[in-house]
Amino acid sequence: MATSVESTQSIVPTLVGGTWQPSVSTRNGEVFNPSSGKVIAQVPLCTEEETNAIVAAAAQALPDWGATPAVERARVMFKFRDLIEQHFEELAALVTREHGKTLPESRAEVQRGLEMVEFACAVPTMLMGDTLPNIAPSVDAETNRHPVGVCVGITPYNFPFMVPLWMFPVAIACGNTFVLKPSEKVPLSSVRLGELLVEAGLPDGVFNIAHGDRECVETLLNHPEVAAISFVGSTAIAKAIYETGTKNGKRVQAAGGAKNHLIIMPDADLEQSVKALAASAYGCAGQRCMAGSVAVAVGDVADPLVEQLCDYAGTMRVGPSDGDENVDMGPLIRREHLDRVSSYLDVASGEGAEVALDGRGDFGSDGFLLGPCVIDRVAPQMRVAQEEIFGPVLSVVRAADLESALEIGRNCPYGNGASIFTGSGYAAREFKQHFNAGMIGINVGVPAPMAWFPFTGWNQSFFGDLHIQGTESVHFYTRQKMTLTRWFRSAEESHVDPVWKTARK
């Protein structure tokens, strides 16, 4: 389909060693404004050669930055934090423009990203090691944390601002240098972050941006100077990144896709639950890795739940979000994605489920719009209950009791988030203890941890060991050194190794 161009065909630059450079690549991707359906920029898909040059710039900046006192590195983060706050509204508008989520949703995203920078500002405290004086006679033991080297971040389209900030503030504050490869669908927020980092006084080469697709990513995965890879995206790619990265001897944390369950018990506050379900399933048009995707209605709550959910979701205002504060739900990222998400309604009908609310319609816009959808009487083995749809589609599975709901979780290959809505402390506790997912909500629709807590996806939703966010991220971006120290009072004492002397006793 031919695309119209909204403004000038600006080509997004790369950031290499502190300089904004046009790419030499002859391959480009298109950046859309999903609200209008128009192209707003071209993004280069970097070649292997220029990706190598970007890593080289990061490697060159590493020794000086790693030797910069942690307190000074933190000061750059404080300035960066202030700049984000000063440009808060502009940044939220940019997220809405290239992604399509509503302005309030973009503001929430910028706020969550800002908190990651605030977390990174505390890095001097977080880098402190442990000591045990006199672990053996005259011997002191200590650990401390060192940067790992050049770190890479590869990010998805659904949080253009926040997900890059899950990674580089902590990595950089820990003394590493960084290459960010943002989603080629939404590169503009990352470029703006780079500009603000430069303005904050970050030395050249500490933060770099490469754009691209598979060629660029594979170059990064195979580059000998890259020490660590942080990835967020779909499960198939997360798994492949983890396998290749670790095979090449790199640290990898790779967050993947999700299928999140929302359990509604018969004793739940139904009005509150319906609002929370709608916010979870339809927020950001369902394009969140923590979006509720399967509602499990327990016992006799199913009929009133479906009825109230359809009534509530049916009144949501759907439209172009760019510049309109009154829209409840904006567009999907691309027309192909809209078509893919919509097709699940036919898949569900074909498998015997009932489409209780069909969001397909004419919204009087060329934006990639789809209204909220509810599919009722979904069986746990149906595709809509198993596959990540990543759009505003909520499937309702009816379960006899809590144990049946837990069983549905046990059979799910993903394991990001799950929530229960109940008035029973016992049910909440059983759910918290036994549901097969890493992030649990109790009467909370989107149990996404904030910066200070790790993003603890399980199963096929995460590949690796140390998660993104919280102190686990500091551990991911540092390696420990342990030092044993002994000083002798006299030459005579130095003939005995006190560690072994203690052990023999």
In terms of C-beta density within 10 A (0-12 exposed, 13-18 middle, 19 or more buried), how is residue 444 classed?
middle
Q: Which part of the chain contacts ligand NAD (CB under 6 A), choosing from 75-83, 191-199, 228-236, 300-308? A: 228-236
Measured between alpha carbons, how far is 66 from 61 in angstroms, rounded to an integer? 9
Tell me how many residues contact ligand NAD (CB under 6 A). 28
- Sheet containing 354-357: order of strands: 354-357, 373-376, 393-399, 292-298, 260-264, 417-421, 439-442
CB 237 to ligand NAD: min, Å: 4
Q: Which part of the chain contacts ligand NAD (CB under 6 A), choosing from 154-162, 190-198, 315-323, 369-377? A: 154-162
Does position 243 interact with ligand NAD (CB under 6 A)? The reply is no
CA distances from 416 to 94, 194, 331, 346 (A): 28, 30, 24, 27
Question: Please, which residue, 404 or 459, has the CB nearer to ligand NAD?
Answer: 459
In terms of C-beta density within 10 A (0-12 exposed, 13-18 middle, 19 or more buried), how is residue 246 classed?
middle
Contact residue for ligand NAD among 14, 155, 419, 436 (CB under 6 A): 155
Does position 245 interact with ligand NAD (CB under 6 A)? The reply is no
Does position 412 interact with ligand NAD (CB under 6 A)? The reply is no
Contact residue for ligand NAD among 153, 187, 257, 359 (CB under 6 A): 257
CB 195 to ligand NAD: min, Å: 20
CB 425 to ligand NAD: min, Å: 29
Does position 232 interact with ligand NAD (CB under 6 A)? The reply is yes
Q: Which of residues 415-454 bind ligand NAD (CB under 6 A)?
A: 416
Does position 344 interact with ligand NAD (CB under 6 A)? The reply is no
Question: Please, which residue, 245 or 457, has the CB nearer to ligand NAD?
Answer: 457
Does position 62 interact with ligand NAD (CB under 6 A)? The reply is no
Q: What is the CA radius of gyration of the chain?
A: 25
Instruction: Determine the residue with CB nearest ligand NAD.
Output: 233
412 given a catalytic annotation: no
List the catalytic residue out of 289, 310, 373, 412: 289
**Between vectors from CA 159 to CA 412 and to CA 458, what angle results, nearest 5°?**
25
Measured between alpha carbons, how far is 182 from 212 in angstroms, rounded to an integer? 8
Question: Please, which residue, 359 or 391, has the CB nearer to ligand NAD?
Answer: 391
Q: How big, in percent rounded to 5, are the helix, strand and coil portions of the chain?
A: 40, 20, 35
Does position 158 interact with ligand NAD (CB under 6 A)? The reply is yes
Q: Are strands 19-21 and 14-16 parallel, antiparallel or unpaired?
A: antiparallel
Write down the H helix ranges in 149-301.
162-173, 188-199, 214-222, 235-247, 270-282
Lay out the site mask for ligand NAD across 162-201 (x = CB under 6 A, - = otherwise).
-x-----------------x-xx-----------------
CA distances from 15 to 26, 129, 298 (A): 18, 34, 52
Residue 463, sorted as left (phi over 0), alpha (psi -120 to 50) or beta, turns out to be beta
Measured between alpha carbons, how far is 487 from 105 in angstroms, rounded to an integer? 59
Question: Please, which residue, 239 or 360, has the CB nearer to ligand NAD?
Answer: 239
Does position 388 interact with ligand NAD (CB under 6 A)? The reply is yes
Strand partners, 484: 141
Nearest Cα residue to 86 out of 207, 208, 195:
195
Binding site residues, ligand NAD, CB under 6 A: 154-159, 163, 181, 183-184, 213-214, 217, 232-234, 237, 255-258, 289, 388, 390, 416, 455, 457, 461
Tell me the catalytic residues: 289
